[in-house]
Structure 1
Amino acid sequence: MGSRLRRGWLRLHRWLALTLGLPLAVVALLGAVLLVLKPIDHWRHAELFSVAPGPAASDLLERVRQRLGAEFGPGAALTFRLPRLADESLRVAVRGPWDGTIYLDPRDASELGRRGEHEGAFNLLFEIHSALLLNETGKPLLALLALAYLVLLIGGLVLWWPKRWRRALVLTLDRGALRALFDLHRGGGALLGLLIGVPVLSGAYMAWRPLSQAVTTLSGQPSTAPPRLPGLAADVQGPPLELDAMVKLARAGFAGAPVGYVQLPAHPGKPIRVRLRLADDPHPNGLSSVWLHPHSGRVLAAHRWSELDPGARAYSVIYPLHTGELGGLGTTVLNGLLGLALAGLGGSGIYLWWKRRG
C-alpha cells in the first residue's frame, strides 16, 4: 500500500474514532452492563416481577384493558406481556399520556406497581442504549454509529495488515506501557473486530427499520404488511368481543401456541395483534402474528414467522443473537465481553491519540 493511501486511512480512522468512537463505546458498554443489570433489576424489584403461583383470572386481559382505557383514554397504546412462568406478573407497556410499564397480578388483575419509561437504572440505561434517549430520532443515529464502526473496522484492518505475518499479533512489553497499549489496541481490534461487528450490526438492524425494508426490497419479495380493517357493518354490530376471547381465537389457529405479546394500537381503526411463540421460532417473544378486528374479534390475517418477508424474518435470529438468548449463557457472556472489548478499543484509541498529541 502506498504511503499516501495509508495516511488517508489513518486520518479517516482517527477522526471518525474521535467524533463517533466515544458514543459508540458508550452504547457498547451499556449493552454489556444491561446483560448483568437485568437479573439484578428483577431481584431488587421482585415485588413487580414475581407473584405467588395460581390460576389466572378468566377475564384478566379484558379487565385490565377496561381499567387502563378508563385511566389513559382511547389514545393510549397498550402492549400486554403475558406471564411465561407460573410465578410471573402480567406486564402492560403504556404509550400515551404516560409512558411506562404497569405490573399486575394475573390471579386478580390487582396492580403491583408501575414504573415510568426512564424510571430506575435499568430502564434509563436501556433507553440510552436503544435510542440515545431520543426515541425514534435516536434510532437512525444508532445506524450511523454502526456504519461508522464498519468504516473503523475496515480502516483498522488496512492499517494493521502486516508485511510479516509472524509479527501480526505481537504484544511488545519492553518499550513502555504506551507501546504495549498500542499493540493491544491494534492487535485486539484485528482479532476481535469481526466478532464485535455482530452485536453492533444486529443492534442497528433492530433499531432502524429501513434496514429490514431494504433487505426485503433487495430480495424482490413483497413486504408482509398488517391488514386493513374492512368496512363491514357486521364487524361493528353488537357488543365488542372481550380481549381474552380474542386471544383464544388467535391461539386456536396455531394449535394453542403460547402468547408472546398482545398489542392494542392507539388508533381505533387498526387491528389488534397477537404475537405467538411457536416451538420452531428462535425469537424468544415469537414473530408469528394473528391480526384481529378490534370490535368483532374476527381474524383478519395470520402470518407464520417462517412465511414473513426476508427482512422481517431475519429478526427471528438477529434479536436473540443480539440479546444473547440464542445459544444460552455462553452467547450472553460472549456478547457482554464483546461489548466491553469495543468500549476498551474506543477508550484506548482516544487515550493513545491524546498521549501522542501531548
Structure 2
Amino acid sequence: MQASTLRSWSWIHKWSSLVCTLFILMLCLTGLPLIFSHEIEHLTGSEIEAPPMPEGTPHISVDQVAAEAVRAYPGLVPLYFFAEEDAPDLWYVKLDTRVDTDESESLLILSDARTAAVVGVPDFDEGFMSVMYRLHVDLYAGLAGKLFLGFMGLLLIVAIVSGVVLYAPFMRKLGFAEVRRERAPRTRWLDLHNLLGIVTLVWALAVGFTGVINTWADLIFKGWQAEQVAALQAGNTRVLLAADAEGVPPADGTIQTAMDRVMAAAPDMAVAMIAWPGTLRATPEHVAVILGGDTPLTSRLTQALLVDPVSGEVLEASARPWYVTALQLSEPLHFGDYGGLPLKVLWALLDILTIVVLGSGLYLWLKRGATEARS
C-alpha cells in the first residue's frame, strides 16, 4: 500500500474513531445491563407476574381487556396489545389520548388475559434500567436522538473498516496476535488494541450495523404503513380470508372476532401484537394483527395481516418488505436475546472487550498527543 493511501486511511480511522468513541463507549456501557434486563428484573423483584390461577384457565375477549383498561384510565384509548412469550397469561396494553399520536406520552400497562384485571404498570420510566434504556436508545431526545446515535453507529462502521485496512500492513512487522510486552506501555496498548479489535471485528460490525437499523425503526414503520395504505387504495391486495368464509366466526365489529379470523387464515402462527385502526402499525380502517414464528429468532420475523372489523375480510396488503425484515432481525441480533443465557453471556463478554478497545483507542490518542506536545 502506498504511503499516501496509508496516510489517508489513517486519517479516516483517526477522525471517525475520535468523533464516535465517547458515544459508542456510552452505548456499550448502557447496553451491558440491557442484555440481562429480564434477569435483572427477576432478581430485583420488579417483574410483574400474572396472579396464580388453575392451569388452562381460558382467556377472555380482548375487547373486555381493552374496556377494563379504559375504565381504569379514563380519557385514554387502546393503541396496541402486545403478547409476551414468557408471560402467556398477560397482555401488554399501550394506551394514549388518541390513536394517531406520536406515542411519546403513551402509557403501557399489564392486564390479565383471563380476567381483564389491570395487574400493574411496568416501571419503564423510572429507575436504573430506565435510564440505561433511554440513554442507549435516544439520549432522552426522541427521534432526533435516535438518528444522532445512528450516525455515530455509521462512523463506528467506518472506523472498523478503516482499522481493518490499516491492520494488514501493520501486522507485517509482527506475528499474529503478538503483544510486545517488553516495550513501552503505549506500544503494549497499541498491540492489545489491534488484537482485541480483530477479535471483536465481526461482532462489533454486526452490533453496530443492527444498532443503526434500530434507530430508523420509526421511519421504517411509517414507510411500511404508507406502503400498505397505498396498496389498499390501489386494490393491490391478497385476500387470505373472504368476508363470507365458512367455518369461522362472522364479523361483528369486535377486535376479538377480527383476531380470530386472522388466526383462521394463518393457523400455524402466534399473535405477537394487535394494532387498533389508525395507529402507526395499522391503517385507518383496518385492525393489524402481527403474527410471529415459533422459534426465538423467527418469532421476530413477523407478518402483518389486516382485517376489516366490519366485513371480516382478511388481507395481506403487501408482503413484508426487505427493510422491515432487516429491522425485525436486527433487534434480537443487537441484544443477543434469542439464544438464551449462554448467548447473552457471550454478548456481554464481547461488549466488555469492545469497551477495552474503545478505551485503549482513547488512551493511545491522548498519549500520542502528549508525546507530540513534549517534542
Contact residue 277 and residue 288 of structure 1 kept, 8 A: yes
The CA distance in 2 between the partners of 1:206 and 1:329, in whole Å, is 22
Q: Is the 8 A contact 2:94 2:106 kept in 1?
A: yes
Equivalent residue for 2:238? none
Corresponding residue for 1:17?
Answer: 17
Quick check: 1:123 aligned with 2:126?
Answer: no
Task: Judge conservation of contact 1:198–1:322 (CA < 8 Å) in 2.
Answer: yes
Write the letter of the residue equivalent to 2:202: L
Q: Check conservation: 2:261, 2:314, Cα contact below 8 A.
A: no
Q: Which residue of 2 aligns with 1:91?
A: 92
Q: 2:286 maps to which residue? A: 271
Q: Which amino acid aligns with 1:278?
A: G
Give the Cα separation in 2 of the matches to 1:272 and 1:95: 17
AA in 2 matched with 1:135 = G
* TM norm structure 2: 0.77
Q: How does 1:1-358 map to 2 (within 5 A)?
A: 1-45=1-45, 48-54=48-54, 55-59=57-61, 61-69=62-70, 71=73, 73=75, 78-85=79-86, 88-96=89-97, 98-115=105-122, 117-162=124-169, 164=172, 166-209=174-217, 225-226=228-229, 228=232, 241-255=253-267, 257-265=269-277, 269-279=284-294, 282-293=297-308, 295-296=309-310, 298-302=312-316, 307-358=319-370
Rounded Cα–Cα distance in structure 1 between residues aligned with 2:217 and 2:112: 34
1:270-290 CA-to-partner distances (Å, cap 9, x unmatched) read 422111123479432451122
Deviation of the 1:209 alpha carbon: 4.7
TM-superposed CA distance for 1:261, in Å, is 1.0
Residue 247 of structure 2 aligns with which residue? none
Measure, in 1, the Cα distance between the counterparts of 2:93 and 2:128: 19
AA aligned opposite 2:95: V
Partner amino acid for 2:67?
A: Q
Question: How many angstroms apart in 1 are the aligned matches of 2:219 and 2:107?
Answer: 27
User: Does the CA contact (< 8 Å) of 1:25 and 1:344 recur in 2?
Assistant: no
1:7 Cα shift? 3.1
| 1:180-208 Cα distance to aligned partner (Å, 9 max, x none) | 22211122113322331011101212321
Q: CA deviation at 1:308?
A: 2.4
| Deviation, structure 1 residue 318 | 3.0
- Counterpart secondary structure, 1:275: strand
Partners of 2:27 and 2:136 within 8 A in 1:
yes
Length-normalised TM-score, structure 1: 0.80
Deviation, 1:35, is 1.0
Cα distance change of structure 1 residues 14 and 83 upon mapping to structure 2, 3 Å threshold: closer
1:357–1:345 CA distance, 2 compared to 1 (3 A): same
Q: Specify every segment of 5 or more residues in structure 1 that has no aligned partner in the other structure, as ranges.
A: 217-222
Letter in 1 for 2:112: D
Specify whether residues 58 and 297 from structure 1 end up closer, same or farther in structure 2 by C-alpha distance, changes over 3 A only: farther
Deviations 1:213-238 (A, max 9, x none): 9xx9xxxxxx96256589xxx9xxxx
The separation in 1 between residues aligned to 2:79 and 2:14, in whole angstroms, is 45
Partner of 2:121, secondary structure, is strand
Aligned sequence identity (%): 21
Aligned to 1:219: none
1:331 Cα deviation after fit: 3.3
Give the 3 Å change call, closer, same or farther, for CA 265–17 of structure 1 in structure 2. farther
The amino acid of 2:181's aligned partner reads L
Indicate if the aligned counterparts of 2:150 and 2:213 stay in contact, CA closer than 8 A. yes
- Quote the offset at 1:172 in angstroms: 1.5
**Structure 2: gaps (5+ residues):** 98-102, 235-242, 244-250, 371-375
Alignment RMSD: 3.5
- Closer/same/farther in 2, CA of residues 84 and 161 from structure 1, 3 Å limit: closer
